[in-house]
A and B are shown apart, each in its own frame.
Chain A
Amino acid sequence: VSTIDTLHVVFEVGAAHYVLPASVVLELESFHGVTPVPGTASHVVGIVHIRGQVIPLVDLRVRFGLPPVEPSLDHRVVVVEHDGRRIGMLVDVAREIAKIQPTAFEPPPELVGVHAHGFVKAVAQLGPRLVMLLDCERVLGQEQGDG
């Protein structure tokens, strides 16, 4: 396994830690406001202009069923490329890249998996913290998350 495959971006949403493989993360941007798009799912906060592209922004707090907070400049936008789409994920904090061996991941306990709408693909222990590997497909899918 090459080093590049073990690199993961670590971010926080509502006091929990999540990771995504660095290979799907295009950039980390600070939040500078968003243009709401009426008629979209509740977790889609709108569109943002990042590096010459207009992309949708998904609020992971809302997606995960947490009460929304007014986004501030402390929030970060994790821009991911998934299935040819480019999408921003609004998270509370993101400032860390960690090395996690693929062997460190294990499937989430069944009960957790069900409750998390399948958003969590795997979990791993990273030092003192438990981190959850997100399933982009589920998180960015079109179906309503809080239904």
Chain B
Amino acid sequence: VELLRSLHTLKGLAGMMGVEPIVELAHAMESLVRVAQHGRGVLPAAALDPLVAATQAISGGLRAMADGVPVPAAPDSVLLALEQIAAAPWPGTEDASPPVVLPVLDAVLAGKLARSELEELQQAFERGERVSQIVFAPSPAKAEAGATITTVRAAVGRLGRIVRVLPRSVPRSDAAPGGLEFVLLVVTQSPPQAIAAAAGLAAVEVTPLARRESAAPSPADDDAFARASRKGVVRMDVAKLDTALEHLSSLGIGQLHLREEARTLASAGVDVRPLLRRLDDQERQLRRMRGTLLELRMVPLREVLEPLPLIVRGLRNTTGKHVRLAVEVGDAELDKTVAERLFPALVHLVRNAIDHGIEDVDARRARGKPEEGLLRVEAASASTMLEISMSDDGGGVDLERVAQRAGRPVPQTDVELLEILTVPGFSTRDTATTTSGRGLGLDIVRQTVEALGGTLELENRPGQGTTLRVRAPLTVAILDAFAFVAGRERYLAPIAVVDAIVEVDPAQVVRPPGRDGGARAPSLLHARGAIMPLLSLRGALGLPRAGDETRAMIVRRHGQPFAFGIERMLGRHEVLVRPLVDPLVAVWGVAGSADLGDGRPTLVLDLPALTTRLARGAAGEARV
């Protein structure tokens, strides 16, 4: 198990650095060792030579990297040898621990399956799912009746998960005039009759594969490795997934156009009900496809947090504090992009906790706490959001000191406290420290989290510790957004940040006295039982005056409502957001751009960030 873990780590690290030859070698070695671990018994002597050769090839690759020359390709002979041994039946071990899936599968078929596919079948058995083997022999007669491998595959695919479709040659017969048949291995909940019926009655032959007799629950370690191995199967550039998502997004927008056309037809008196049913069906399929693609972008939080222990160890050394890190995040997963943006913020929270939260050994002893402080990272996901909490058992936040430093009254609630702690540049330290630094504090963390459409919460337990809770959406690549018009331009805003959209009745708007009285000065709006500032979005963006702003979009800034006047709502869209990364266009208040189907980029506004900028601008003016 140790060896497997090391190989997997090696593979992961090589993968991160993009050293493909080493990834391949480590993967092949890992597969072989896993086979050995998975109940086939011990490593046969024949496996040792290729393993040693592979180790040497990896060392050679490392030397090449150290010398700055390209890493030579993995020697095919070694890879082949490793794979052959992994795939070959291992003599003398069958009795002790039979391979799990092989007995129920035809040996020839089993030989054609990839390891991952065998593992998938094995896991299906272990979970108690039904696995069926479906045989379909194509013939002209069946094709005429509408049954081809494509239709069978589609029909079966609706009932379950097709693990593999294998062609195999058979003696020519009336049933198989082409001398060819297809074997579909399917994991499904449906009984054989249902499958046969769905796939076109007598066209196919369905054989349920027997469940393994000793269906013992697999140990947790096995599970972990099975997951790890699934991850090892496909590695791909996230950009490719983005491209796929983008194509999907334009299909979704095409849908909207089709619906508009349908409405036009309907108003001309055409019966569009069948068309609408098809559209609904198509929309469901698009949603499923989107779900699948988004799932592909998910990474386990546990992997994302892997560097934390190292960081904590470094902090232990620099601060001299005793800290133990407990990461209990379970199986939580999140989108890779979210993970990449969130990670620096989480590291910052860890640093804060150790630098400011946890006391030094003497202070802890004086308070009767264990010398070693505890920093606990936990996670839970609920539907679309992931909550990560970070708790320390340190001294908590000294309210009076914070109040004094900020020159404000002592905060009465955790919300007020967080408000002060996230004032840009706020720090409780007189001098910069190497770990937390100074002035770059919680405000950055909060901004990062809020830009993702999430929230940051603080729970202060004076003398006992602090908990910070980060709630972030599991995925940001595709955004559910409102499209609207301001200053003749179209914009998008994430639905997640919009509290409400209200009609602006001029009678409810009050213009307070102000020096400029222009478009940039906020008015007061009374809506939804609250009074809030109302600002022309067009004015805030510096756009020329166009139509009247008859609607307002209410967002929250630090818990307070804030309304932006807009001209017109256009609707709700699911869009793929691309961040604007070039320094020329990376501006505050713009989260990225998306395509609404006209080939022209539409800006996705970060309204909470915009309110912050406006609030700062106002404060600056007030001081003059």
B582 (CB) vs chain A CBs: closest residue: A56
B164 within 8 A of A: no
Set B489, B578, B590, B595: member contacting A39, Cβ < 8 A: B590
* Binding site secondary structure of chain B: loop
Set of chain B residues within 8 Å of A36, measured between Cβ atoms: 489
Contact, CB under 8 Å: A87 / B603: no
Complex alpha-carbon distance, A47 and B588, angstroms = 15
Contact, CB under 8 Å: A38 / B541: yes
Set of chain A residues within 8 Å of B590, measured between Cβ atoms: 37-39
B601 within 8 A of A: yes
Contact, CB under 8 Å: A56 / B601: no
Contact, CB under 8 Å: A38 / B583: no
Complex alpha-carbon distance, A48 and B603, angstroms = 11
- Proximity bits, A13-41, B CB within 8 Å = 1, else 0: 00000000000000000001101111111
Q: How far is the CB of B598 from chain A (nearest CB, A)?
A: 9
Q: How far is the CB of B615 from chain A (nearest CB, A)?
A: 16
B540 (CB) vs chain A CBs: closest residue: A38
Set of chain A residues within 8 Å of B587, measured between Cβ atoms: 37-40
Interface size class of A (residues with CB under 8 A): 20 to 34
Contact, CB under 8 Å: B584 / A54: no
B542 within 8 A of A: yes
Contact, CB under 8 Å: A35 / B603: yes
Contact, CB under 8 Å: B584 / A35: no
Known: A33-B600, A37-B585, A40-B587. A47 touches B580 (CB 8 A): yes
Question: From residue 577 to 619 of chain B, which have CB atoms closer than 8 A to chain A?
Answer: 578, 580, 582-585, 587-590, 593, 595, 599-603
Interface size on B, residues (CB 8 A): 22
B570 within 8 A of A: no
Contact, CB under 8 Å: A142 / B583: yes
B543 within 8 A of A: yes
- Proximity bits, B534-545, A CB within 8 Å = 1, else 0: 000000011100
Set of chain A residues within 8 Å of B585, measured between Cβ atoms: 37, 40, 44, 46-47, 56
B602 (CB) vs chain A CBs: closest residue: A35
- Proximity bits, B548-587, A CB within 8 Å = 1, else 0: 0000000000000000000000000000001010111101
Contact, CB under 8 Å: B543 / A38: yes
Contact, CB under 8 Å: B542 / A54: no
Contact, CB under 8 Å: A39 / B600: no
Set of chain A residues within 8 Å of B599, measured between Cβ atoms: 32, 49
Q: Which residues of B contact A (CB under 8 A)?
A: 243, 489, 541-543, 578, 580, 582-585, 587-590, 593, 595, 599-603
With A85-B582, A142-B583 known, 14 other A-B pairs at CB within 8 A are: A32-B599, A35-B489, A37-B585, A37-B603, A38-B541, A38-B590, A39-B589, A40-B584, A44-B584, A47-B603, A54-B601, A55-B582, A56-B585, A86-B582
